[in-house]
Amino acid sequence: MKNSPLAGLKVIDFSRIIAGPLCTQQLADLGARVIKIEHPVTGDDGRSLSKAADDRGAFFQAYNRSKESIALDLTQQAAIDIVHQLLEGADILVENFRPGVMKRLGLDYETLSEKYPRLIYLSVSAYGQTGMMADRPGMDPVLQAEFGMMSMTGEPDGPPVRTPQSLIDTMTAMNATTAVLAAVLTRQQTGCGERIELSLMATAVSALGNLGLAYLNSGHVTRRAGNQHPDAAPVNLFRTATQPIYAALATQKLFVTFCKEVLRKPEWVEDARFATPAARSRNRQVFYTMIDEVMMEQPAEYWLERMRSLPSGAVRSIDEALDSPEVAEQELIMSVPDDSKETVRMFRLPMKFSRTQVTTPTSAPHLGEQGPAILAELGYGPAEIEQLIDRGVLRPYVRPENAE
Residues designated as active site: 229
DSSP 3-state of 92: strand
For residue 117, whether the previous peptide bond is cis, meaning omega lies within 30 degrees of 0, is no
Say how far apart CA 200 and CA 169 lie, in whole Å.
7
The amino acid present at 74, given as its one-letter code, is L
Cis status, amide bond into 230, omega within 30 of 0: no
Residue 314, classed as helix, strand or coil, is strand
Rg from Cα positions in the chain: 26
β 343-347/33-38 pair status:
unpaired
DSSP track, 260-292:
IIIS--THHHH-TTTSSHHHHHHTHHHHHHHHH
Cα 151 to Cα 46, 208, 225: the distances in Å are 28, 12, 10
Distance CA 97, CA 100 (A): 8
